[in-house]
Structure 1
């Protein structure tokens, strides 16, 4: 397969070179816009018009350095018009494009004070909810009314190709183990900790969600499904501006969220602040049925469990930072971020044990309670410098992140016999502290040889130290003793060093990008012993290469029709807690245990796509995973255990169609339809597995612009039944509606949203391949909700290109947890 891929790319490249030589010169006009203080006029509107009749040819915006460029300009005479709030409109002399002079580099344009003030401008345009770009798809979160009152996890479930199951597990394009970034920085969390963190972030804090199935080499190779980058709001406009929002909603229980976002830029200083507070009161009912058989396949007993989960969290978020512009080319910055999340979960469980005849032998009534105290914080120092007008630049980041998560639990189980008489009591308490410290640094260097040829180079190092403890105690007759069967402490240290090179080249119709990333991983893990068990440890050291390639060909000179092919290799390292061999008690008959023998899984991704403007994208993909990792459930004595194992291989084929249309001026229509076919092959415990599954996924968004400041939205998604290793899943669907009214001169908005109107988003199915047992499950998360919200924008506002939001840690966040 690798040989075929290289041969295919070489053929396309050779054709591109020959084709490019036959093309006529490309007309291009570029320049820079400055304000009256000779500073870049960020986001100034630049319009290219014909000199004869001032007909608009193209419209653009100046970037963070005030630069603009117009490409694919035909021969002729043109003028430029430049507009910016608070300045007079600039009109240029005639600019000529000809075969002899196809490139025009204008002298810097300096704007003069005066002209239209912001109060005279009525901004009515709204970003499209979905934007298709060359290497990623962008979801503009604020454009969706039904995101009112939602959190980051709920906003994710509406993104194209993303499936969030009822337990919060995230998959992308049919694959799990997706890498989640916040402002280009990893979250360093996994499992329940990642879910709770995303739930703690109000959707009103979010600007965009970027979806990348095949990220370039500059990104960490972690995440076999690609990368989801959640970008928070961060303005660069001069002066003071920001927004505030408040929401109240009701599902099974009430929940509220408030957020505040502000930015102040003056002279060489830019200060920003993003803070939020939310109260999340959730609900889940879990029904589990287990039937046990003897060697003759006759029923010998059964077990039924009804569990309720009522977690309540109080979340405080803060992100603040300062950018200092040493010069127009050099910037220093510091960013502080933190989350405080406290709460509790009341978890009553009723379990019924029955004999072969289906009569109750005993009943267990459990009162389980958990208290959470999570304190997570980080600091980022960043530096960037631009050397020339071509874009030669260097950036550097250093990050330190610390997670301090504490969980205290109590399990009180009371057993009754068949007649209802008291049998026995069991009282267990535990505390499960987790400490994660991450140090990370990286530097990236971009070297453009000309406007169309560029080389990117980079280095990164990260060091992660996790300290997990599980302290269990038995209480008998008010006497507390240590439970050494379950108590332990696990220390995990990991160092990843990486280097990459990425080359890109553009011709008139061809674009080529090829990269190679090398990552060396060093692991040192130590499980401390106790009175019943000795110390144990393991050490790992491995180096891997991760090539990426992307080729695009424009089928017409305007670039309206294009075909692209891409390839990438990725790694997915086990989450830290999945390597920890200790046992986490879920209830009297259920527990989770780690697996120190887990290996990383590797994925090769191939994709072929056709695009017509931003209106239609058709794609076909293939991926192959080795050492595919799955959850494995098994019975041991009276306890039902869950852990992770390397099953074997996973092969997937998928096709997708995306439409992004405006049938009428008042109606925007978006549809993402996908079909996936997957084959799993390997060993599930002692059982060989070779099975296939297929499913479809549909995501639809309709936005309606009504009169007098009113707008509405209707969204839905549908996932057909499918199988994933041991688990079968029923179909899931969700319908959402929203209504919005602009007020206060379009600066404020009142929004009403309703989610999961027909209560179709719940999960149920079977757990297969458990010897001697048949198991069913049913999860109800009470997703149906209604939310009323208010938002207000203040100060100056504009569509401004954002400063680099990168950090040096790009993969570790998704793997920390307990």
Structure 2
């Protein structure tokens, strides 16, 4: 069946190729737009005039590689004007077309609008949202309210993205998104990823790329697509730096400091980003459970009130060097490091009631923990450009080592309603974990005449993880091993992949199509202990992942564009989800892994219309099999959370995004979507069949008050929806910010108020639990005021951009 699908897909592509090629009659003028570092200026406006009377023939936007092409032209003498925000306008010499022969122009090189100064100055403000054929680009710095925020807080304001109280990320109603930093995976579990993104300041971020259907060049991992954080990069000669510091006050105070350094001399470019933050947050979680007998009559109830007050110290480092061996060859090395330490005192108060609502007993759990996470990664990269046309070869070698651990102490005391102590239990644990990741990949790009390009590459990765769970019962300060829960889990995985990607412009029609094959080999081994036998499992599977994008300009100027796309994705289980260990939260709540998890597969279909990147409307349909998600089942009064294969998920999504300026001083971006999630499949309680519509909106208003003053008002709202067993209720927030530029525009002071009315409170119900119902309610520390200072200095002569990407594209997103 898969071979038939691939055959039909290939045949359809070839037919479209031949059809479109037949539509390109008439003369043609083509070229490209680059900056003075020979970097493509994606989205530059290119205008074609008749030289005699300056009549406009056509207007279009440069493609992602800077290329443009005017089709169906008559013999004449033309002029071309190019504009791009922040750059001087470019006007060509006369372009003569004779006998409708194609004219291929040399690249147009645009110069920065600001003259070279001894210090860096901002020359233009980027728009918040930019639309491309295969992704949406969010410019982080365009929102003042992002000042002082961390990466996770920036993400929750991003169109189409939702972040819950635990830091879990969904994109367009789907979980399982692959999060990357500079085209490299984070190799982290959901919990560790949330911790890392909280430690990454917004001052280090440049853009966020949202790809619900990534091209074949990217790993097929990520059921919901890819979210790629692009960190800031300097491309200027000499020494340049940006320093920032902020203090924020919410329930508790916290502070962030960062510095971005770049030094270029001769053939060597050195760069570094260093960030440190200290934060203490607050969260209160209330869970209400009601228990019933086989006849549906109430038997008892439980109310859990948990307090989380972690204090965290985080340091992030990214440093590297590029060596320009020649104008065509560059070697680079990049080091990334993350050091995080946290202490938490999280008491849990459990109130047990009988069937009549009378208090039966109270359990107070004192949970204290110390945790650490250290990550070190090294990337070696190479780039060779064979010619100026764009033929290039790259390779990346990556090694990453993560080490984490936590020590917890649980003291459970049970009291009768009269306050007398009836039972006391003390449990301690030691949970060390380590992971080693090795990755190698190479990519080749070959442009052809007629604005076509072929890309191909191969990749191989190897991962081994080692997780231990050591539990002890403590009586009279004497610890004895709890063999029922103590164990060790080893997992090894190798993924081999190859891809080919082709794109071509045919006048108004553009095609990008690709095919990726991935071979997965996994081996898990639970070692057991003195009382429990060991166990193991092996997985081997190979799959094909086609992608296709078909774009058509409805007018000659390219203002109205239709895009049809298709892609297939895979969601492999996180390494932690395969770990069969049991982790304690309190006496009535456990987490457990599932070594029998299967990968999930998604087919994504999308039709989109856009007008000059000012207005976009899209209709998407996604079908997923073997959906992975958090599931809750009970063993008596104990709730056990584990990741399971729920069954099938269907998602319909209609989204609209628009940018406009009501006045010169007011810019608006609005995003809204309606989606429906349907889940069907065998479940603990029988057959799960849930479906619900969700409305979500996100907007921001930017106000230019003067040359040095600006302000912003932004927010989001979500009506709630269904996500497997979980049904959430409406929530949202409103943010406000103001900025003052100082020190000749080299510095700025910003004041930001997040969640002004403290309305963000993720809550809902948990369905399909045998003999029980449950609701949850979060009170989160999101009402935060931040005062921030930023200062930039250096020299402003452009140089070639440095390589900061690596080859490990999906493994880190599944670590631990």
| Structure-2-length-normalised TM-score | 0.93
Residues 202 and 523 (structure 1), Cα distance of their counterparts in 2 relative to 1, 3 Å cut: same
Mapped partners of 2:342, 2:167: distance in 1? 18
Mapped partners of 2:107, 2:206: distance in 1? 35
- The answer to which of 450-459 and 207-216 deviates more is 450-459
Mapped partners of 1:110, 1:703: distance in 2? 28
Residues 769 and 29 (structure 1), Cα distance of their counterparts in 2 relative to 1, 3 Å cut: closer
> Where does residue 27 of structure 1 map in the other structure?
29
> Where does residue 541 of structure 1 map in the other structure?
540
- The answer to which of 235-244 and 88-97 deviates more is 88-97
Residues 529 and 165 (structure 1), Cα distance of their counterparts in 2 relative to 1, 3 Å cut: same
3-state secondary structure, aligned to 1:457: strand
> Where does residue 311 of structure 2 map in the other structure?
312
> Where does residue 731 of structure 2 map in the other structure?
732
> Where does residue 72 of structure 1 map in the other structure?
70
Query: Contact between 1:236 and 1:270, CA under 8 Å: does it hold in 2?
Result: no
- The answer to which of 523-532 and 43-52 deviates more is 43-52
For the pair 1:517 / 2:516, whether they are aligned, the reply is yes
> Where does residue 180 of structure 1 map in the other structure?
179
> Where does residue 805 of structure 1 map in the other structure?
804
Residues 11 and 563 (structure 1), Cα distance of their counterparts in 2 relative to 1, 3 Å cut: farther
Residues 795 and 476 (structure 1), Cα distance of their counterparts in 2 relative to 1, 3 Å cut: same
3-state secondary structure, aligned to 2:647: strand
Equivalent residues in 2 for 1:742-781 (5 A)? 742-781=741-780
Per-residue deviation, 1:78? 4.1
> Where does residue 204 of structure 2 map in the other structure?
205
> Where does residue 356 of structure 1 map in the other structure?
355
> Where does residue 568 of structure 1 map in the other structure?
567
3-state secondary structure, aligned to 2:349: strand
Deviations, residues 763-799 of structure 1 (Å, cap 9, x unaligned): 1221111111111111111211110101111113488
3-state secondary structure, aligned to 1:769: strand
3-state secondary structure, aligned to 1:252: coil
Equivalent residues in 2 for 1:531-610 (5 A)? 531-610=530-609
Per-residue deviation, 1:230? 0.2
Query: Contact between 2:441 and 2:457, CA under 8 Å: does it hold in 1?
Result: yes
Deviations, residues 127-160 of structure 1 (Å, cap 9, x unaligned): 1111112211111111110011100001111111
3-state secondary structure, aligned to 2:166: coil
Residues 99 and 282 (structure 1), Cα distance of their counterparts in 2 relative to 1, 3 Å cut: farther
Equivalent residues in 2 for 1:172-571 (5 A)? 172-571=171-570
Per-residue deviation, 1:805? 3.3
> Where does residue 796 of structure 1 map in the other structure?
795
Mapped partners of 1:57, 1:238: distance in 2? 40
Query: Contact between 1:579 and 1:598, CA under 8 Å: does it hold in 2?
Result: yes
Deviations, residues 545-575 of structure 1 (Å, cap 9, x unaligned): 1011111111111111111111000000001
Query: Contact between 2:564 and 2:608, CA under 8 Å: does it hold in 1?
Result: yes
> Where does residue 671 of structure 2 map in the other structure?
672
Mapped partners of 2:197, 2:523: distance in 1? 29
Per-residue deviation, 1:492? 0.4
Query: Structure 1 stretches of 5 or more lacking a match?
Result: none
Per-residue deviation, 1:84? 15
Mapped partners of 1:641, 1:584: distance in 2? 10
For the pair 1:128 / 2:127, whether they are aligned, the reply is yes
Residues 62 and 9 (structure 1), Cα distance of their counterparts in 2 relative to 1, 3 Å cut: closer
Query: Structure 2 stretches of 5 or more lacking a match?
Result: none
Mapped partners of 1:548, 1:599: distance in 2? 23
Query: Contact between 1:47 and 1:56, CA under 8 Å: does it hold in 2?
Result: no
> Where does residue 139 of structure 2 map in the other structure?
140
Mapped partners of 2:496, 2:29: distance in 1? 43
Residues 176 and 84 (structure 1), Cα distance of their counterparts in 2 relative to 1, 3 Å cut: closer
| Structure-1-length-normalised TM-score | 0.93
Query: Contact between 1:43 and 1:61, CA under 8 Å: does it hold in 2?
Result: no
Equivalent residues in 2 for 1:79-94 (5 A)? 94=94
Per-residue deviation, 1:347? 0.2
For the pair 1:624 / 2:626, whether they are aligned, the reply is no
For the pair 1:103 / 2:107, whether they are aligned, the reply is no
Residues 279 and 57 (structure 1), Cα distance of their counterparts in 2 relative to 1, 3 Å cut: farther
Residues 506 and 475 (structure 1), Cα distance of their counterparts in 2 relative to 1, 3 Å cut: same
Mapped partners of 1:159, 1:121: distance in 2? 28
Residues 71 and 161 (structure 1), Cα distance of their counterparts in 2 relative to 1, 3 Å cut: same
Residues 529 and 746 (structure 1), Cα distance of their counterparts in 2 relative to 1, 3 Å cut: same
Mapped partners of 2:807, 2:384: distance in 1? 16
Per-residue deviation, 1:10? 6.0
Query: Contact between 2:685 and 2:770, CA under 8 Å: does it hold in 1?
Result: no
Residues 368 and 42 (structure 1), Cα distance of their counterparts in 2 relative to 1, 3 Å cut: same
- The answer to which of 51-60 and 552-561 deviates more is 51-60
Mapped partners of 2:373, 2:396: distance in 1? 26
3-state secondary structure, aligned to 2:134: coil
Query: Contact between 2:590 and 2:640, CA under 8 Å: does it hold in 1?
Result: yes
Per-residue deviation, 1:677? 1.2
